[in-house]
Amino acid sequence: MSSDFITKLNKIKNPEIEVKPIFYDQGGDYFAVEKFLKNQKYLDNKKVLSILKIKFLQEAPIGYALMDKKKNILGFLGTIFSKRYYKKDFSDHCYLHSWIVEKKFRLQSFRLILPLLEKNIFITTFSPIKSLEGLYKKFNFYQVECKSIIFPIFNFNSLFGKTTKFYQNKEFFFKFLSEKDKKIMKDHEHKNLFNFFCYINDDPKDYIYFVGKKIQMYGFLKIIDILYISDHKKYFNHNNLIHNNIARELKTFFIRIHLSANIEHNTFKKSIFNRTSSYKLFYKNNPDCYQFDLLYSELIK
């Protein structure tokens, strides 16, 4: 974080406005934020209110509010706090969403993120609006280009079971998972998500663990959206057989995966059947061993 930039911002702080942490369903401040969000005309109100219910740490705030002396809400920044497991230790993480400030008070927008920067924790957010990208960059966030790819899979019965085994039985494969993946599974036992597990050459320790959800696009197309892949290299080496298992077990013919620019692969060549869309990841204070995924974010909804 640039100290010079922070110093400049502090000079335009309005003393009549304060920033306050907001906790889910607790008192008047939460209901004032809920009312503020419902009044935003260009916002998917139901979606944002549902995101506020995502909690990995019960004691953590669901966001920060900008308010005046009369407790009127002038702006809000949503937060999803979690503890993530890296290299035999836990790292505090915060995912940001729904940064909204009333037009006449937008010079004070920066104040919503200052409490998080002061914590010096790992912070991520996906595809902020254009006007916020510059602010993130001034706060020394890194930017990574990402893409999602929807592609068809084909169910060839002759390939089933040749070199991979497929399980959705959590009781069976939990004991084989690394400590990191055990934590992920416990944190993502969510009704909208499912866990599945493939292992190679009859060795459950040689596994790939996935977290995904079923989505529907264009009103009729059922897709398995894969949010987490424990080992990308292993996945790319065995993806055809894995896809066949997914087609059979999960009764689908389409998958969506998400990749960042720093994940090397040559699996998904351009095809008239593939649909690719791009988005941006902004992050700060990332652990050295951070691997891109969509977990611990609004995208698990």
User: What pLDDT is stored for residue 156 in this prediction?
Assistant: 52
The set of residues, in sequence order, having a beta carbon less than 8 Å from that of 296 and lying 6+ positions away, is 56, 80, 82, 84, 93, 95, 187
Question: Which SS3 state, helix, strand or coil, does residue 207 take?
Answer: strand
**Residue predicted with more confidence, 189 or 76:** 76
Say how far apart CA 296 and CA 56 lie, in whole Å.
8
8 A C-beta contact, residue 119 and residue 250: no
User: What pLDDT is stored for residue 264 in this prediction?
Assistant: 60
In angstroms, the Cα distances linking 265 to 131, 239, 288 are 32, 12, 21
Summarised one tens digit per residue, pLDDT across range 206-264 is 899 999 999 988 777 889 999 999 998 889 888 888 888 888 888 888 999 999 876 66
- Percent of the chain at pLDDT exceeding 90: 54
Architecture of domain 3-140: 3-Layer(aba) Sandwich (3.40)
Dihedral, 64, 68, 71, 75 alpha carbons, nearest 10: -40
Nearest to 170 by CA among 185, 183, 180, 181: 185
The DSSP string of 143-180 is EEEEEEEEEE----GGGTTSSEEEE--HHHHGGGS-HH
* CA within 13 Å, CB half, 239: 18
The residue extents of the domains of the chain are 3-140, 148-280
User: What pLDDT is stored for residue 159 in this prediction?
Assistant: 46
How confident is the prediction for the chain on average, in pLDDT? 87
Question: φ, ψ for residue 17 (rounded to 5)?
Answer: -120, 140
Q: Is a pLDDT exceeding 90 seen at residue 30?
A: yes
Q: Is a pLDDT exceeding 90 seen at residue 21?
A: yes
User: What pLDDT is stored for residue 269 in this prediction?
Assistant: 59
This prediction's pTM: 0.91
- What angle (nearest 5°) sits at the alpha carbon of residue 299, between those of residues 296 and 301? 95
148-280 folds as: Aminopeptidase (3.40.630)
Question: φ, ψ for residue 42 (rounded to 5)?
Answer: -105, 30
Beta bridge partner(s), residue 229: 210
pLDDT band at 23 (very low <50, low <70, confident <90, very high): very high
pLDDT band at 271 (very low <50, low <70, confident <90, very high): low
**Joined tokens for residue 264:** 């090397």
Say how far apart CA 85 and CA 152 lie, in whole Å.
33
The set of residues, in sequence order, having a beta carbon less than 8 Å from that of 226 and lying 6+ positions away, is 210, 211, 212, 255, 256, 257, 258
- Count of positions (residues) in the chain: 301
- Residue 121 CB-density burial (10 A; 0-12 exposed, 13-18 middle, 19+ buried): middle
User: What pLDDT is stored for residue 161 in this prediction?
Assistant: 45
In angstroms, the Cα distances linking 178 to 131, 169, 216 are 40, 17, 32
Nearest to 78 by CA among 57, 56, 100: 100
- What angle (nearest 5°) sits at the alpha carbon of residue 47, between those of residues 43 and 52? 105
8 A C-beta contact, residue 174 and residue 284: no
* CA within 13 Å, CB half, 130: 0
